[in-house]
């Protein structure tokens, strides 16, 4: 079953951040981790899932993605550290 989600990938603690939206979080994070999609996440080694939010529908997920992208880096880091202060890879939690 598809579940809209917004997520943050990072290259490491306080590293490069990538914010995305998807309807299949497990598959999308796998693609980033394996470099299947190429692009930004591959170029900057953003392979660690450090934050995700499940939403009720895709329009809400897209709106949340835009909200996160518009925020400052400081706010993005605060969001990550509120629930994941060690910046651990949360990918195993979603499997």
* 22-75 pLDDT per residue, tens: 999 999 999 999 999 889 999 999 999 999 999 999 999 999 999 999 999 999
Residues in the chain: 95
Q: Given 3-state DSSP classes, what are the helix, strand and coil percentages for the chain, each rounded to the nearest 5?
A: 45, 20, 35
Render pLDDT for 13-28 as a digit per residue (tens, 0 to 9): 989 999 999 999 999 9
Which CATH code fits 5-94? 3.40.1440.10
Phi, psi for 16 (deg, rounded to 5): -65, 140
pTM for this prediction: 0.96
């Amino acid at each position: 079953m598809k579940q809209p989600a917004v997520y943050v990938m990072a290259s490491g603690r306080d590293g490069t951040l990538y914010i995305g939206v998807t309807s299949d979080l497990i598959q999308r994070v796998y693609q980033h981790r394996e470099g299947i999609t190429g692009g930004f996440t591959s170029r900057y080694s953003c392979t660690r899932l450090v934050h995700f939010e499940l939403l009720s529908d895709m329009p809400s997920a897209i709106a949340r993605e835009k909200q996160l992208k518009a925020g400052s880096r400081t706010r993005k880091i605060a969001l990550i550290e509120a629930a994941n202060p060690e910046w651990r890879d949360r990918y195993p939690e979603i499997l």
